[in-house]
């Protein structure tokens, strides 16, 4: 008899994005005449083509694969040296952060890395997540058996750290002891960033509790405000308590190409049941070499091209393009009289609706009255109730159109959708 992983049965059925898709389809079916007016500002996927430097690197690498002399088969599971070196040099050492090439593990995505990382931790760790939260952190822990049953607004056994306007959407330290902490800054969905002082207090907490921070820096390239840390390793002591996840999805627009990396410092320790400390680096290396066979060679060449002078310029232009969208959307929401957060160091705008109007009412109102698809804040956790997220990943034309529609809305009318 084959047994299944019963933890999967705990996963809450009404997953956010399918529910959004269902409502959009129902609206389209009922109003086919306005289907072409629909502007999607929901899912966080990029819209602009890859940087020219990456395309050129891809073409060249593909040609290499077609000739005997330059053909490559299996590469190193952890990534080619050329890419690990480029990453460690440009993203870390050039910024004064001591990270060695072999502390970089190249993969096909941060989403996968975030799920797989649980493989090297024992069961029974107490997990803290932010609320609102990127759903992947929660669901992967449910699948791994690190939670209890679903309860109103979350899962038993998880420690939820409320991120609200009162704390600028940066999680406060928990009163209790936790073992693994997920932090994501710049944040999806709130667009918030964490200051050096705030990250320093988290590193201090983690070291005192022998806890490990899983730091998701997927939106690092969007930080424009000087002084905001781009990496957790800018904080002293973070090498002893943090794993960092980075991705080429949002800076280079690799969401369809797939390349990311995880940083596991060699002096990062975790504990055996007997209380002895052991480094995690050999475990992640073993995980990677056993369960993964590397990212496609042309894709790694495309990622390397991001670090070329031309590639950097093109990424800056891409980020600038999306951030101009963010500025337009922010202005529009302010013009509509709502409180707006994010969109300054992140491509997400986090909007507070009028008092007592639910996230789903705001979603339905925006869909019906403005034909704009957003993401209801409550879908990211109970602390997101009353908010909605607008993504700045869009064409300029659609962003301008969405901004005009948003600015003209009377959001108190959303009350009728409650
Ligand atoms: C987009 C995103 C990522 C990147 O995921 P990939 O699998 O590398 O595409 C990681 N974390 C968050 C919070 C994101 O929004």
Tell me phi and psi for residue 363, to 5 degrees.
Answer: -60, -50
pLDDT tens-place values along the chain, 418 residues long: 999 999 999 998 667 888 999 999 999 999 999 889 999 998 789 999 999 999 999 999 999 999 999 999 999 999 999 999 999 999 999 999 999 999 999 999 999 999 999 999 998 899 999 999 999 999 999 999 999 999 988 999 999 999 999 999 999 999 999 999 999 999 999 999 999 999 999 999 999 999 999 999 999 999 999 999 999 999 999 999 999 999 999 999 999 999 999 999 999 999 999 999 999 999 999 999 999 999 999 999 999 999 999 999 999 999 999 999 999 999 999 999 999 999 999 999 999 999 999 999 999 999 999 999 999 999 999 999 999 999 999 999 999 999 999 999 999 999 999 7
How far away, in angstroms, is 101 Cα from ligand 1 center?
22
pLDDT at 316: 98
How far away, in angstroms, is 249 Cα from ligand 1 center?
7
How far away, in angstroms, is 246 Cα from ligand 1 center?
8
Domains, the chain, in order of start with CATH, read 13-42+311-417 (3.90.1150.10), 53-307 (3.40.640.10)
Residue having the nearest C-alpha atom to atom 13 of ligand 1? 188
Lining residues, ligand 1, CB within 6 Å:
44, 109-111, 134, 184, 188, 216, 218, 247, 249-250, 255, 260
Q: Which residue has the tokens 């990127």?
A: 134
Q: pTM score, two decimals? A: 0.97
Helix then strand count (H, E) for the chain reads: 11, 17
pLDDT at 15: 73
Residue having the nearest C-alpha atom to atom 12 of ligand 1? 218
Neighbouring CB atoms inside 10 A of 255's CB total 16
Q: Are 181 and 213 in contact (CB under 8 A)?
A: yes
How far away, in angstroms, is 111 Cα from ligand 1 center?
6
How far away, in angstroms, is 1 Cα from ligand 1 center?
37
Residue having the nearest C-alpha atom to atom 15 of ligand 1? 188
Q: How far apart are CA 251 and CA 50, in angstroms?
A: 10
pLDDT at 14: 60
Q: How far apart are CA 318 and CA 222, in angstroms?
A: 10
Choose the residue to mutate in 247, 254, 257 for probing ligand 1, maximizing ligand atoms within 8 Å of C-beta. 247
Q: Which residue has the tokens 């069961």?
A: 123
């Amino acid at each position: 008899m084959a047994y299944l992983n019963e933890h999967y049965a705990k996963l809450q059925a009404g997953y956010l994005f399918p529910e959004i898709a269902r409502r959009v389809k129902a609206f389209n079916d009922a109003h086919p005449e306005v289907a072409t007016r629909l502007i999607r500002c929901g899912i966080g996927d990029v819209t602009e083509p890859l940087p020219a430097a990456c395309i050129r690197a891809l073409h060249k690498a593909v040609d290499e694969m077609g000739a005997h002399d330059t053909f490559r088969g299996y590469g190193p599971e952890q990534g080619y040296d050329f890419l690990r070196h480029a990453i460690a040099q440009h993203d870390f050492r050039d910024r004064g952060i001591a990270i060695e090439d072999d502390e970089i593990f190249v993969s096909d995505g941060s989403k996968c890395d975030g799920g797989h990382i649980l493989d090297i931790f024992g069961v029974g760790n107490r997990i803290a997540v932010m609320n609102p939260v990127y759903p992947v952190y929660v669901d992967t822990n449910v699948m791994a058996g690190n939670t209890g049953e679903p309860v109103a607004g979350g899962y038993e056994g998880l420690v939820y750290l409320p991120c609200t306007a009162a704390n600028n959407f940066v999680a406060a330290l928990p009163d209790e002891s936790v073992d693994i902490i997920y932090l994501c800054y710049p944040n999806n969905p709130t667009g918030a960033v964490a200051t050096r002082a705030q990250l320093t207090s988290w590193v201090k907490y983690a070291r005192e509790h022998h806890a490990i921070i899983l730091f998701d820096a997927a939106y690092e390239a969007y930080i424009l405000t000087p002084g905001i840390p781009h990496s957790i390793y800018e904080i002293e002591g973070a090498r002893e308590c943090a794993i960092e996840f980075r991705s080429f999805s949002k800076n280079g627009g690799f969401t369809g190409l797939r390349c990311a990396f995880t940083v596991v410092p060699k002096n990062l320790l975790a504990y055996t049941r007997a209380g002895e400390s052991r480094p995690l680096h050999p475990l992640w290396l073993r995980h990677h070499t056993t369960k993964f066979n590397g990212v496609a060679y042309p894709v790694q060449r495309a990622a390397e091209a991001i670090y070329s002078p031309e590639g950097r310029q093109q990424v800056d232009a891409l980020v600038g393009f999306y951030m101009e969208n963010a500025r337009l959307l922010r202005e529009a929401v302010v013009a509509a009289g709502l409180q707006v957060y994010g969109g300054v160091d992140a491509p997400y705008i986090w909007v507070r609706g009028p008092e007592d109007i639910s996230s789903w009412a705001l979603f339905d109102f925006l869909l019906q009255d403005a034909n704009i698809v957003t993401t209801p804040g409550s879908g990211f956790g109970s602390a997101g109730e009353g908010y909605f997220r607008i993504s700045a990943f869009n064409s300029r034309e659609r962003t301008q159109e969405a901004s005009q529609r948003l600015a003209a809305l009377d959001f108190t009318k959303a009350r009728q959708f409650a």
